[in-house]
């Protein structure tokens, strides 16, 4: 790593410290998220780049922030089960709310669809970006450096695993054990409600199969078990209720996730502003501060919808930087499994080649991996026709600092951030060579 990379990497680390300690938790749509946008907008102005601000509405609790609602539904369904055993018609109403909750969970929490957002409390979030043009103002393609400004609600079970920080496997088992038990309890009681509604509904309309089921030995034993099982499911759903802390003051400080990405996007842009001779030929660079990623990629979705069909999304590459802190885990994320989305192969290869050239070896034994759960801002970008991947240096194992207020800059070294800067610059050089080879129309070929 050269001195230039260290200089800009250490400056990026200073931004990370400011975000974590001076601003703190930055939940989607919160005042602190807006403060961070204002701070980065001023940083762009300081280097002579005009910041462009675009506001959008977000329902912070419509996605992963609303997981505790599943727990509340499970507790209520558990309690109502005792009433429904005496009043079978009640199963119909329970089934309706159970089905609606499961549909919301799958579509909004897991797949990040915006369909349910209108039913939740709305806040105003923001995207902020700035354009760096070549000296002559002429360009043929665009490189978008993106990262998200917001942070997550603190995951309480992960936070409590801090006591196992010297034995991460115990912490992982303790966290997954609680969450897994809670999930099983939620789905058991809600699916039971749906099943019972179908059976008793069929019987109400004179279906012979329903009458046979109701008078079967298995159904009678199952009904008898419902006199004690709801007490167990209610307990398990309490772990789901305790999934996250709703208060902004207790939110993740977001040093790794994702002040590192915001800082690196800015410092790379600043580097090219201060060294115009290094700027890729016929290229526009955009520093994109993306809001409300933790609410279901809402900032990236809003950006691609707002600019659909416009020049900013044409012949464009997106390097999405998300969490560069764990020095032994440099990776390129080549897809979101949960979103059924695979990212760009050319960018993936550029990152893998860069890691090899720089002697970066990851403990995960591979430089390209799919994001196993959740999603990242590369998915909306990919759906918009942009070549995109996500670059990260993050331990993929669920840890006490991931999505908790213990995500602090003191945990990692500025040298790791500087290494991230070095990687991004090298990948941009490869994009420039690719574009030149393809007549500056490489995305569309």
pLDDT tens for each residue of 30-40? 999 999 999 99
* Res 338: pLDDT: 87
Q: What gap in Å lies between CA 223 and CA 242, rounded to an integer?
A: 29
Q: What is the mean pLDDT of the chain?
A: 93
Element (H, E) at 128: strand 123-132
- pLDDT one-digit tens code per residue, 313-327: 999 999 999 999 999
Residue entry with tokens 């005042």: 31
Q: Which pLDDT value is given to residue 428?
A: 97
Domains of the chain by start residue, with CATH: 3-55+125-154+246-437 (3.40.630.10), 65-111+160-241 (no CATH)
Span 381-395, average pLDDT:
95
Q: pTM to 2 decimals?
A: 0.94
- With a cut of 60, say whether residue 255 has pLDDT above it: yes
CB atoms within 10 A of CB 99: 15
Tokens of 11: 């400056």
The 10s digit of each residue's pLDDT in 123-157 is 999 999 999 999 888 999 999 999 999 999 999 99
Distance CA 423, CA 418 (A): 9
Share above pLDDT 90 across residues of the chain, in percent, rounded to a whole number? 83
Contact 196, 437 (CB under 8 A): no
**Do 407 and 253 touch, CB atoms closer than 8 A?**
yes
Whole-number Cα distances in Å, 35 to 26, 39, 133, 309, 380: 9, 6, 27, 31, 25
Strand partners, 141: 283
pLDDT of 247 over the 90 cut: no
pLDDT band at residue 167 using 50, 70 and 90 as cut-offs: confident
Q: What is the mean pLDDT of residues 14-39?
A: 97
Q: Where are the alpha helices (DSSP H) in 67-167?
A: 67-84, 90-104, 156-160
Residues 6+ apart with CB under 8 A from 182: 71, 74, 236, 237, 238, 239, 240, 243
Q: Are 243 and 300 in contact (CB under 8 A)?
A: no
The pLDDT assigned to 366 comes to 67
Residues in the chain: 445
- In this predicted structure, what is the pLDDT of residue 206? 85
Q: What is residue 155's DSSP assignment?
A: B
Q: What is the pLDDT of residue 373?
A: 80
SS3 at position 286: strand
CA atoms within 13 A on the CB side of 202: 13
Task: Tell which wins on pLDDT, 3 or 394.
Answer: 394
């Amino acid at each position: 790593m050269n001195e230039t990379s260290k200089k800009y990497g250490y400056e990026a680390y200073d931004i990370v410290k400011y975000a974590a300690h001076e601003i703190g938790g930055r939940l989607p749509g919160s005042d602190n998220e807006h403060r961070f946008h204002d701070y980065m907008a001023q940083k762009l102005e300081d280097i002579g780049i005009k910041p462009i601000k675009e506001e959008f509405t977000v329902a912070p609790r419509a996605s992963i922030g609303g997981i505790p609602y599943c727990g509340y539904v499970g507790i209520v369904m558990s309690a109502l089960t005792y009433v429904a055993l005496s009043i079978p018609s009640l199963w119909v109403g329970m089934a309706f709310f159970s089905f609606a909750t499961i549909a919301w969970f799958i579509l909004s929490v897991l797949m990040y669809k915006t369909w349910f957002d209108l039913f939740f409390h709305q806040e105003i979030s923001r995207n902020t970006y700035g354009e760096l043009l070549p000296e002559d103002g002429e360009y043929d393609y665009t490189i978008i450096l993106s990262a998200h400004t917001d942070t997550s609600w603190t995951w309480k079970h992960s936070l409590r695993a801090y006591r196992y920080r010297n034995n991460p496997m115990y912490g992982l088992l303790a966290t997954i054990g609680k969450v897994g038990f809670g999930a099983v309890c939620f789905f058991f009681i809600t699916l039971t409600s749906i099943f019972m509604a179908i059976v008793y509904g069929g019987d109400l309309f004179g279906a012979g199969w329903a009458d046979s089921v109701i008078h079967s030995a298995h159904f009678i034993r199952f009904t008898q078990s419902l006199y004690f099982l709801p007490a167990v499911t209610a307990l398990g759903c309490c772990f789901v209720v305790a999934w996250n802390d709703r208060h902004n003051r207790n939110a993740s400080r977001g040093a790794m996730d994702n002040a590192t990405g915001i800082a690196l996007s800015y410092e790379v842009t600043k580097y090219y502003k201060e060294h115009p001779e290094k700027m890729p030929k016929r290229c526009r660079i955009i520093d994109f501060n993306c809001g409300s990623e933790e609410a279901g990629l809402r900032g990236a979705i809003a950006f691609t919808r707002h600019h659909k069909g416009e020049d900013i999304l044409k012949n464009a590459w997106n390097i999405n930087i998300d969490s560069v802190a764990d020095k032994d885990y440099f990776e390129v994320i080549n897809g979101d499994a949960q979103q059924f989305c695979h990212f760009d192969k050319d960018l993936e290869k550029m990152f893998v080649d860069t890691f090899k050239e720089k002697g970066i070896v990851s403990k995960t034994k591979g430089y390209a991996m799919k994001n196993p759960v959740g999603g990242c801002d590369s998915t909306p970008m990919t759906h918009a026709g942009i070549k995109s991947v996500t670059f990260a240096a993050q331990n993929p194992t669920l840890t006490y600092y991931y999505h908790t207020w213990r995500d602090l800059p003191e945990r990692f070294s500025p040298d790791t951030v500087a290494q991230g800067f070095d990687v991004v610059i090298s990948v941009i050089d490869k994009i420039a060579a690719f574009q030149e080879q393809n007549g500056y129309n490489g995305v569309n070929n």
